[in-house]
Amino acid sequence: MSDTSLLIRNAQAILTGLDGEAMRHDVARLGGDLRVRGSRIEAMGRLTPEPGERIIDATGSVVMPGWVNTHHHLFQSLLKGIPAGINLGLMGWLSAVPVSYRRHFDHDAVMRLAARLGMVELLLSGCTTVADHQYHYYPGMPFDASQAVFDEAAALGVRFVLCRGGQTIARAIDVNPPPQVQPETLEAFLAAVEHDVHRFHDPAPDALRRVVSAPTTPTWSVPVEHLRPIADEARRLGIRLHSHLSETADYIRYTQEVHGCSPVDFVEQHGWLGEDVWYAHLVHLSDSDLAKLARTGTGMAHCPQSNCRLGSGVAPAPALHRAGGRVSLAVDGAASNEAADMLHEAHTTWMVHRAVGGADAITAEEVLYMGTAGGARVLGLDAVGTLQPGQAADLVILPLNEPRQWGLHDPAMAPVMSGAARPSHVLCHGRVVVDQGEIPGLDLAALRAEAEAAVRVMQEAA
């Protein structure tokens, strides 16, 4: 660990990421300073500057843990607002957008551009950990998609979890799929996951790189007989499991008709529940499903904006959290969530549950927990997600310098209550990855031009 230190001084509020009353560090009594040494938080309170250390003045700012995004599809960052899918539900949208447009992701440069764009958007919302459900793999693929996304994450300084997806069966729901949607064999999928584990996976509690086994869905993307071998192999390798589950009412109906049970019961039969498993969405759950998820420690990546955008419903995230379950926040792919940043996601989480469940359905503190420590818990990154001495220095300084934040009687809750804002500074693993509102070394104008050019190429080929 480096001896380099950095002192953050005079924060107006410090949010720890811990659950309940422990969420708020008592700045008035204990002081609003925080020292980072190397990759870790060394101290919090009233601190005296040391010779030669960098000082960041956080006067008028909230300091909080970096957001932990537990489910994304970064390649979709170039597929926002496609007219053919904008007013469709999940099944029609899948065919019109992600499946149809995967033909454009046939070379390394476009994958890297999409990943860079998605992670830049997340970073500028204060997100420091990204779990990307990267399912764009197919036989004969001419570039290394896993290497591409890890390279882009390293360049930006983001903590990155690759959920290595894909399919081992041709899905009946895919209409006239392009070659880039062809399935892998089970043997090829398992070998590729193991190869990525050997290349990239770090089991440390503050790992900057992790690999997860993540077939796209357990119902449509793999035959039933492949589910347990995939789970067994992941556990042999010491990695986690991830997928989509129970996203729509149609999903529930299909599983009942074909397998005679709920999706949660179905995956349980094949070894796909437990503390090493988490699912995106879980929108439609029975009381029995909720109890089973809570009892087994199976996690939820709650994606309210995507679920609203596609008309899928509102997941019972507060109920699972209050039952002792593991709940995290995620933005999902930008093709179904055109504002794929964590501040928007947190604000939507706070609002939508009150709309359907009443004013006491969820608190701002619960939202902050889900988006920070809750996400780290789901991913098994135990040294991440909270601001405490000894924890990884993943943190955000959010100035309260915009009119939308003024007049708040509880400014500490601005990240949830006020929604969109831009951090002045973001640290990941002790590295300053956003400095004075900018990402060091990144030309935003050039990134915009590259993204617009890529969109034009897709539009001209349509």
CATH number assigned to the domain comprising residue 98:
3.20.20.140
Residue 444 covered by a domain: no
Residue 457 covered by a domain: no
Query: For the chain (length 462 residues), average pLDDT per consecutive 10?
Result: 83 97 96 98 98 97 98 98 96 93 95 98 98 96 97 98 96 75 96 98 98 96 97 98 97 96 98 98 98 98 98 98 98 94 97 97 98 98 98 98 93 92 96 98 98 97 84
Q: Are strands 13-15 and 61-65 parallel, antiparallel or unpaired?
A: parallel
Residue 349 covered by a domain: yes
Boundary-marking domain end, from 379, 396, 416: 379
Whether residues 160 and 148 share a domain: the answer is: yes
Whether residues 198 and 240 share a domain: the answer is: yes
Whether residues 84 and 48 share a domain: the answer is: no
pLDDT tens-digit profile of 208-220? 999 999 999 999 9
User: In which domain, by residue range, is 251 found?
Assistant: 67-379
Whether residues 275 and 144 share a domain: the answer is: yes
Residue 118 covered by a domain: yes
Whether residues 406 and 262 share a domain: the answer is: no
Residue 461 covered by a domain: no
Whether residues 55 and 127 share a domain: the answer is: no
Residue 452 covered by a domain: no
Whether residues 231 and 105 share a domain: the answer is: yes
Q: How many domains does the chain have?
A: 2
CATH number of the domain to which 56 belongs: 2.30.40.10
Residue 441 covered by a domain: no
Whether residues 147 and 100 share a domain: the answer is: yes
Residue 448 covered by a domain: no
Whether residues 398 and 411 share a domain: the answer is: yes
pLDDT value for 355? 97
Whether residues 176 and 263 share a domain: the answer is: yes
pLDDT value for 437? 97
Whether residues 207 and 334 share a domain: the answer is: yes
Whether residues 204 and 304 share a domain: the answer is: yes
pLDDT tens-digit profile of 326-338? 999 999 999 999 9
pLDDT value for 173? 64
